[in-house]
Chains A and B, each alone.
Chain A
C-alpha cells in the first residue's frame, strides 16, 4: 500500500529579550546555575509577574512576518502541572487567546516549487528551568537532581503549524524557514544547540487518498534540523510497519534518541496531564492598538522571501543563488556587503557560494565568524574584475587573507608580487622560452590532427603560467601560444 505522511510542527523559539518574560532577571545563556533567577523566577510566595513589552513586540513582529492575523486582545493562561523545574507549579502560557492568529510560511521544495505551510497560531509563554541529573549526590552515595532556574521565565514563542507537511524534508524546510524568519527579525538567535529553538513533531500516516488523518504520535523536544528529519523518517517507518503488521498506532508522546536514532514512548494519552488551563488572574489581557501594530509593521526588516525576490529581480541572480544567499540573515548581509564593495552581484554571489563557503565548511565556521571580511573579499573580487590579478592568483590572495597574511587584497598582491603580467612582450618572451625548452611536445603538437591540438595546448599554457609564477594573463597566454605554435606547423 502507498502511505502518506502527515506532519505538524510546534516550534519553540526563545526570544532574544534582555530580561525574562515576567521578571527583570537577565536571559543571558551560560551563567552559573541559579544566578539569573530572581524572586519571581523562583516562584517565591507573594511574587507577581509583569509582562515584558519587548516579548510582545517580538511576537507581533513574527506574526506580521508570516502575514498572520494579530488579534486585538490576547490572554495569558496558567497551564498547571507539577515538575521540580517548574517553580510555580504552573507555566504561564496562552491557551485560548494567543497573541498571533492564523498565518502562513512559504517553503521551497526540492524541485524548486513553493509550498505554503499554514500556521495555526503562535503564542507567548515562559520557559521552565532545567533539571541536572549528573554530578549531584547527597554525600552519602545517593544520586540527586539539581535544579537550575536560570532559564525559568525565558520568553518563548510557540509556533504551531497546521498538519500541512508531507515529508521529513518538508518539515526540515519549514523549520529552516522559521529559523530564517526569526533570525532575520532579530527576535531570536536561533541557536539550536543552546536550545534557542526546539520543536515537537506530530507525525501520522494514512493510506494515500484517505481523507481522515491517522492517529498521531508527538515526538518531543527535537533540537536540530537533521534530527527532525531522522526522527520523522524513523517514526514514519515505525508506524507503517506497525499498521502493516496488523497493529494500531496509539496516541502518545515519544522521545527521539539521536544516539540510537530511534523514537521511544514517553507517555500515552491516558497518562497525559490534565493541565487545568484557566486565565492567569495576575496578568491583564494584552490589548494591542492598531497604531502600535502599524508601527511594528513599519519597522519590519526585509524578510527572507522579499530578499530572495529582490536578489532575483534586481540583482539578476538565479533562483538557486538567490535562495541560498537569502536563507540566513548573516549570509545575506555578508553577500550584500561583498556586492557593495566590488559592485558586481554575480561575482559576489560566485565567490561567497564558492571559495568562501567551501573554506567555511572545511573549517566548520559560520559566516559571521569568517576570517575574511566582506570588505576584504569585495576588494579581492574588484582586483580580478579590473584584471589586476588573474583567477589563479585570486585564489592565492584569498588563502592569504584567510590566514591573516595581510589586511587587504591589495596588500597581499603587492607583498606576493601577484600582479598580473599583461605586457605581451614579456609574455612572448616566456612563450618562446617554453617552446624552446619543449621540443618533444612541440613535435607532438605539430604531428597531431588539427582538431586535437586544442587540448594539447594546455601543457604549454601550464608551463608559461608556471614560468610567470601564475601572474601572466591566461587569456593572453592562450592567444599568443596558439599563434606561435600554429606558425610552427
Chain B
C-alpha cells in the first residue's frame, strides 16, 4: 500500500480495493514503527487522521468523492493547522497550537485529504540539512548517516520512507527541491504568487512559496490542482486562472528546447552528480528535445543577494516572537527588556539568531543602501537573466544540488552550508517555478535533476518531468529502510 503513488492510491480507493481508513491505519502504523528512528514527524495526529479518513470514506460512499478524497498527506510544520501544534521547528513555538488553518491546509481539507501530522524542518525553514530543528535532526531514509536536506527535510524523508504518499513543503531558497533531491522524490516549487502564503509561518516573505512533494510529477500535478489559485488573504497571491495541471502531462516533448546554464556546471559540482544530470539530459534528447548551453551571468551573486534579502525580511518577520502574546516566555522576567532578551535568546536556535543578526545589521541606518538596496538591484538582474534565457529555451536543466546528501554533522561552517543552495536560490529571487526530479544515484544517495521554467509555467514543468518519469524508473526506487519494514 505504502509503495503506491498518490495517483495509484486514488485509483485503489476509487476501485474499493481498500478504504481510506485502512490506508490511514497502515501509514500510522508505519510512522509508529519507523519514525522513532527517522524523526520525520514532529507531531502525528492519529485521531484527526482517522476521523478525516472515515469522513472521506463516507463521502465516497455517498458517491461524492473527488480526485483527492481519502488520500493521506503530511504537512510541513510551518503551516498553521487549526487546533494542532504548529512549531516551525522551533523551541519558540513548542507550545503553539494554531487557532486557524493555513490556506493550503484548508484547501487540502476541502479536497478531502487526510493529514497524518506535521513534519520536521529546519527551525523557521532556515537551513539546508534539517539539522537546525529544535526537535532533532531527521535521517535520510536512504542512508541513516546522511541528512535529508532542508528545510523541508521531514516532508521529503516521510515520503521517501513510505510513511506518507505525499507531503507539503515550502521553498524559500531551495527548501522543497534540495530535500526532494536528497531523498529521491519529486518536488515542485511553484511560481511566487501561485499558492497562497496565508497561514505559512513567514521566513522571507518575498521568497517563501508552498508546493507539493511526492513520488511523481503526476502526483504533484494532482496536489497542485487542490492548492493553487488566488486567495484574497494574501496580497501577493496572483488572481490568475488555474489550469488542470494533469491535462498536459502526456504532451510529447519533441521540439522541447532545453537550456543548460553554463554557471550550473562549474566548480564545486560533484562529477558524479554532473554525470547523472547529463545522462538525464540525454534521455530528453532521446525524447526529441534539443539542448543548448545558455548563460545566467549573475548566478554567482545569487547567494550573497539572498543572504541579505532573506535575513532582512526574517529579522522583521520574527520580531513578533517576543514572549508577550504567544510562544516561549522566559521564567520570571525582571522587566520588559529582560523578557525580550531571554525569551528570544532561549527560544531561538543558533542559525535563526545568526540570520536575525545579519538581517538587523543589513537594514541598519548607514548599511541599508549598501546591502539591502544593492541586493534588490542584483535580484532584478538575476530575474532578467532568467527572462532572457527563456526567450531562447523552454526550460532550464541542471543539478538541484552540487552534491548528493552529505553526512549528518558534516557541514559545520554556515557559509559552506549556504553554498549548498547555489543552484536553487536564484530561482526564488526570480520568482520562477522549479522542480527536482529523481535522476540517479551516487552510491546509495539520490541525485536530483532540477527543471526550471518561466513564471507560471508549472504545467510545462510537470509535463517535462512526467515524460522523463515515463522513460525512467529512478522515482520508483525505494530505500531499504522502507522496503525492509514493508
Q: Which of A76-84, A200-208, A402-410, A457-465 contacts B (4 or more CB under 8 A)?
A: A76-84
How far apart are A168's CB and chain B's nearest CB, in angstroms? Answer: 33
User: B206 an interface residue at 8 Å Cβ cutoff?
Assistant: yes
**Given A39, A43, A78, A278, which contacts B99 in the complex, CB threshold below 8 Å?**
A39
User: B232 an interface residue at 8 Å Cβ cutoff?
Assistant: yes
A282 x B236 contact (CB < 8 A): yes
In the assembled complex, the Cα of A82 lies from the Cα of B337 at a distance in Å of 9
Known contacts A42-B325, A46-B199, A88-B319; is A276 also within 8 Å of B363 by CB? yes
A278 x B98 contact (CB < 8 A): no
**Given B93, B96, B233, which contacts A50 in the complex, CB threshold below 8 Å?**
B233
How far apart are A139's CB and chain B's nearest CB, in angstroms? Answer: 15
Known contacts A80-B316, A88-B320, A282-B235; is A45 also within 8 Å of B206 by CB? no
How many of B's residues come within 8 Å of A, CB to CB? 43
How far apart are B199's CB and chain A's nearest CB, in angstroms? Answer: 4
In the assembled complex, the Cα of A50 lies from the Cα of B231 at a distance in Å of 11
Query: Which residues of A have CB within 8 Å of B205?
Result: 281-282
Q: Annotate A275-309 by CB proximity to B: 1 below 8 A, 0 otherwise.
A: 01110011110000000000000000000000000
In the assembled complex, the Cα of A277 lies from the Cα of B319 at a distance in Å of 14
Query: Which residues of B have CB within 8 Å of A360?
Result: none
Query: Which residues of A have CB within 8 Å of B86?
Result: 45-46
B102 x A274 contact (CB < 8 A): no
Interface residues on A, range: 20 to 34
Query: Which residues of B have CB within 8 Å of A467?
Result: none
A-B contact count (CB 8 A): 97
User: A435 an interface residue at 8 Å Cβ cutoff?
Assistant: no
Query: Which residues of A have CB within 8 Å of B313?
Result: 278, 281
Q: Annotate B93-131 by CB proximity to A: 1 below 8 A, 0 otherwise.
A: 100101110100000000000000000000000000000
Query: Which residues of B have CB within 8 Å of A256?
Result: none
A48 x B325 contact (CB < 8 A): no
Q: Which of B364-372, B407-415, B433-441, B468-476 contacts A (4 or more CB under 8 A)?
A: B364-372
Query: Which residues of A have CB within 8 Å of B372?
Result: 278
B197 x A48 contact (CB < 8 A): yes
In the assembled complex, the Cα of A473 lies from the Cα of B324 at a distance in Å of 75
Known contacts A46-B199, A278-B372; is A82 also within 8 Å of B322 by CB? yes
A45 x B235 contact (CB < 8 A): no
How far apart are A136's CB and chain B's nearest CB, in angstroms? Answer: 14
**Given A44, A51, A84, A90, which contacts B316 in the complex, CB threshold below 8 Å?**
A90
Q: Annotate A45-86 by CB proximity to B: 1 below 8 A, 0 otherwise.
A: 111111100000000000000000000000000101010100
A39 x B100 contact (CB < 8 A): yes
Q: Which residues of A contact B (CB under 8 A)?
A: 39, 42-51, 78, 80, 82, 84, 87-90, 147, 274, 276-278, 281-284
The 5 A-B pairs at the shortest CB distance, nearest first, are namely A89-B319, A276-B363, A281-B206, A281-B205, A46-B199
Query: Can you report 26 A-B residue pairs in the complex whose CB atoms are below 8 A from each other?
Result: A39-B100, A42-B325, A43-B325, A44-B326, A45-B93, A45-B320, A46-B199, A47-B199, A48-B235, A49-B235, A80-B319, A84-B322, A84-B336, A87-B324, A88-B319, A89-B318, A147-B324, A147-B325, A276-B315, A276-B360, A276-B363, A278-B313, A282-B202, A282-B205, A282-B235, A284-B236
